[in-house]
Amino acid sequence: MLEELKSVFDWSQPLLPTTQQLSELKYLEMVIKEVLRLNPPVPVILRDITEDEKLPSTGHVMPNGTVMIISPWAAHRNPEVFPDPEKFDPERFSAGETARRHPYAFLPFSVGPRNCIGQRFAMLEKKSVLAKVIWNFEMFVEPGFTVRPGWKVIMKPANGVRIRLENRR
């Protein structure tokens, strides 16, 4: 990722990214999306069915008044859509791979008319913060540390994240 940053920014200058420059960080975006696939911020979404709805996959009718539970966490681990689903592989989000999948296969911010209106801003914010950290620091996970997922309203590590930063400059 540092090499991608160096290809977009001037290494001799402090990092002050523009929106255009952030949009050029394709690999960083692929890494962020793979992290969101494995750890969606909202692991379960509830939706009220407001009229009878026939599911095209099974023909089953979901009656009006039903509460549907959608789990991005489970959907992102479907091996038919994401082979070897527990493996961290940012290449899943290359342009070719993304084009092969159903547009609703990846839903860290929900999808359709009730999706998160701030998802583009969130991606720019994530890229900006990560670019700044990667630009200035090397990161190391504490040896022997394993993150345990924690489920509340949002998903976050139950035991925190232990990293060490070393100044890169």
Spell out the long-range contacts of 62-70 with Cβ–Cβ below 8 A and sequence spacing 24 or more: 69/44, 69/45, 70/44, 70/45, 70/46, 70/107, 70/110
Separation CA 105–CA 107 (nearest Å)? 6
Asked whether the beta carbons of 49 and 67 are under 8 A apart, the reply is yes
State how far the alpha carbon of 26 is from the alpha carbons of 7, 67, 101, 125, in Å. Answer: 12, 37, 18, 14
**Alpha carbon distance 107, 128 (integer Å):** 22
Q: Is 116 annotated as a binding residue?
A: yes
Decide: 134 and 2 in contact? Cβ < 8 Å.
Answer: yes
**Binding-site annotation, residues:** 116
Query: Which parts are annotated binding residues for heme?
Result: 116
